[in-house]
């Protein structure tokens, strides 16, 4: 690792101020923040994250919720971190070309080949170093990345000095070749600055709704509308609007979805949070919408979980099943396969599913919830255990036959193998939960699920599928 170190590495200028200054203290702080963070909303790997950049005591939990959307074991070739300068204004943006970035957790390699290419071939980028040394909003994102990805990724640090919408479009155009599933873009921004607590909640909600629309003009119009309202104390709706606008220019009219993860503001801090003058923080994730997989909205997920719960409770005589108050439209009406898994803490108590269906998804879930509670591999749970049972639902995409195991992406794909009348399957989350590599994923499925022996998959038909996985609570001890 030392061969990458240079005398011009960017030192952690804000350690001990915005976040803990020693490795031990920082690791402990991050562990606690991620423990309290919002769990992943999907098994998909985000292509971009919007994260706040205040001191960890105020915005650390929201930032951790953003980075916690990265699935365990996920890999990115590069991480682009875009941060709008708080200290100086200058044309375009600055990329760091002199060395690497350091934090108390170690050195992160900067992709010096790429940053030099950007500064030498695009007039919108410069290689000036002063914006990097005086800016906190990029540095504070890095320990979160190190916690999730270690130090084995290439960093592309970008400080935006411009306040020009036209220049922002040029920045996005220059970065477009690297905005793909191989790389992660982290956008650093806080939301409202200095209104009262109630006003912050309202204006930050309005601004976030404009952002997740994916429409750059709608965001700009909303920021201007917020300004014209003359909300007492409101200095800005979004300090990093140029960085956010860069991202939105990269995704506009393309197949990406923005998903809100968590919102808090500084007034929510129980010790230091005054309500009269606050700063708002949103965590937002951006995912590519693939043509080969459906999407299940948060509202639809909650409806399916409630259907499973009511059906399960009805089978135990705890309450009578009904569909009152449930919206049974959208994905719930599609003929899709699914699995329902039941857990007591981390202990699996039942798992039943099907790959294809000639009935709507909500009816499939209703039946599978009851079937899972009667899984013959497990002793039937008692009423008290059922009341506290974790319900996990996996909604499945159609099976796709593959010709090579190189087509299997661990954590994304479930596998289904079939030989004659014998078959076996593992859901995508099995690889994530066990930490198995591809050999063990296939071997265990072949031997333990299909009964074909460790190498039986080699002459079986292989299929992959994807799953939207969600549960009614965290699966814990």
270 and 316 in a single domain? The answer is no
Q: Is 124 contained in some domain? A: yes
Q: End of a domain among 269, 288, 307?
A: 288
232 and 350 in a single domain? The answer is no
409 and 313 in a single domain? The answer is yes
100 and 245 in a single domain? The answer is yes
Which pair of structure tokens corresponds to residue 402?
């593959």
60 and 153 in a single domain? The answer is yes
Q: Is 160 contained in some domain? A: yes
Instruction: Give the pLDDT confidence score for residue 357 in this predicted structure.
Output: 83
Q: Is 293 contained in some domain? A: no
39 and 93 in a single domain? The answer is yes
317 and 449 in a single domain? The answer is yes
Q: Is 477 contained in some domain? A: no
Count how many domains the chain has: 2
Instruction: Give the pLDDT confidence score for residue 291 in this predicted structure.
Output: 58
Range of the domain at 199: 2-288
319 and 359 in a single domain? The answer is yes
92 and 238 in a single domain? The answer is yes
- Which of 66, 4, 389 is CA-nearest to residue 258? 66
Instruction: Give the pLDDT confidence score for residue 159 in this predicted structure.
Output: 98
Q: End of a domain among 261, 288, 315?
A: 288
Q: Is 467 contained in some domain? A: yes
| CB 208 within 8 Å of CB 52 | no
Q: Is 364 contained in some domain? A: yes
Instruction: Give the pLDDT confidence score for residue 174 in this predicted structure.
Output: 97
Q: End of a domain among 288, 308, 340?
A: 288
Q: How far apart are CA 113 and CA 116, in angstroms?
A: 5
Instruction: Give the pLDDT confidence score for residue 2 in this predicted structure.
Output: 36
CATH code for the domain of 349:
3.30.700.20
263 and 330 in a single domain? The answer is no
Q: Is 221 contained in some domain? A: yes
CATH code for the domain of 50:
3.40.830.10
Per-residue pLDDT of the chain (477 residues; tens, 9 = 90+): 333 444 589 999 999 999 999 999 999 999 999 999 999 888 789 999 999 999 999 999 999 999 999 998 888 999 999 999 999 999 999 999 999 999 999 999 999 999 999 999 999 999 999 999 999 999 999 999 999 999 889 999 999 999 999 999 999 999 999 999 999 999 999 999 999 999 999 999 999 999 999 999 999 999 999 999 999 999 999 999 999 999 999 999 888 999 999 999 999 988 887 899 999 999 999 998 765 556 788 899 999 999 999 999 999 999 999 998 898 888 898 888 999 999 999 899 999 999 888 888 999 999 999 999 999 999 999 999 999 999 999 999 888 899 999 999 998 899 999 999 999 999 988 988 898 999 999 999 999 999 999 999 999 999 999 888 899 886 444
172 and 148 in a single domain? The answer is yes
Instruction: Give the pLDDT confidence score for residue 440 in this predicted structure.
Output: 96
192 and 45 in a single domain? The answer is yes
Q: Is 402 contained in some domain? A: yes
């Amino acid at each position: 690792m030392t061969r990458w170190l240079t005398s011009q590495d960017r030192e952690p200028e804000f350690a001990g101020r915005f976040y803990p200054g020693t490795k031990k203290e920082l690791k402990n702080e991050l562990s606690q923040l991620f423990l309290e963070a919002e769990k992943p909303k999907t098994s998909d790997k985000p292509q971009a994250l919007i994260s706040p950049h205040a001191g960890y005591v105020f915005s650390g939990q929201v930032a951790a919720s953003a980075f916690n959307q990265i699935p365990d074991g996920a890999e990115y070739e590069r991480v682009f971190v875009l941060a709008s300068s708080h200290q100086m204004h200058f044309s375009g943006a600055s990329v760091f070309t002199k060395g690497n970035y350091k934090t108390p957790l170690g050195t992160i390699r900067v992709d010096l080949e790429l940053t030099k290419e950007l500064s030498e071939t695009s007039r919108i980028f410069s290689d000036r170093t002063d914006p990097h040394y005086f800016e906190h909003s990029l540095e504070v994102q890095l320990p979160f990345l190190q916690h999730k990805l270690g130090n084995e990724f290439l960093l592309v640090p970008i400080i935006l000095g411009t306040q020009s919408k036209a220049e922002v479009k040029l920045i996005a155009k220059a970065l477009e070749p690297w905005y793909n599933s191989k790389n992660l873009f982290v956008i650093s921004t806080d939301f409202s600055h200095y209104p009262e607590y109630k006003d912050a909640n309202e204006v930050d909600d309005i601004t976030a709704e404009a952002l997740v629309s994916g429409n750059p003009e709608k965001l700009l119009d909303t920021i201007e509308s917020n300004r014209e309202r003359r909300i007492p104390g409101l200095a800005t709706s979004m300090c990093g609007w140029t960085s956010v606008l860069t991202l939105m220019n990269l995704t506009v009219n393309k197949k990406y979805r923005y998903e809100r993860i968590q919102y808090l503001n500084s007034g929510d801090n129980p010790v230091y949070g005054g309500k009269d003058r606050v700063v708002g923080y949103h965590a937002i994730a951006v995912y590519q919408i693939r043509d080969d997989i459906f999407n299940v909205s948060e509202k639809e997920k909650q409806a399916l979980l409630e259907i499973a719960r009511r059906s399960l409770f009805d089978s135990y005589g705890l309450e009578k099943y009904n569909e009152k108050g449930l919206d049974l439209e959208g994905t719930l009406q599609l003929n899709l396969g699914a699995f329902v898994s039941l857990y007591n803490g981390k202990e699996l108590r039942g798992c039943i599913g099907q790959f294809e269906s000639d009935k709507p998804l909500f009816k499939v879930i209703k039946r599978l919830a009851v079937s899972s509670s009667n899984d013959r591999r497990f002793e039937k749970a008692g009423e008290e255990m059922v009341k506290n049972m974790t319900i996990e639902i996996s909604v499945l995409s159609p099976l796709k036959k593959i010709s090579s195991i190189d087509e299997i992406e661990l954590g994304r794909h479930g596998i289904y193998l079939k030989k004659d009348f014998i078959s076996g399957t593992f859901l995508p989350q099995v690889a994530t939960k066990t930490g198995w590599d591809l050999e063990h994923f296939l071997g265990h499925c072949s031997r333990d699920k299909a009964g074909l022996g460790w190498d039986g998959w080699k002459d079986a038909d292989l299929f992959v599928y994807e799953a939207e996985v969600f549960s009614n609570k965290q699966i814990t001890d």
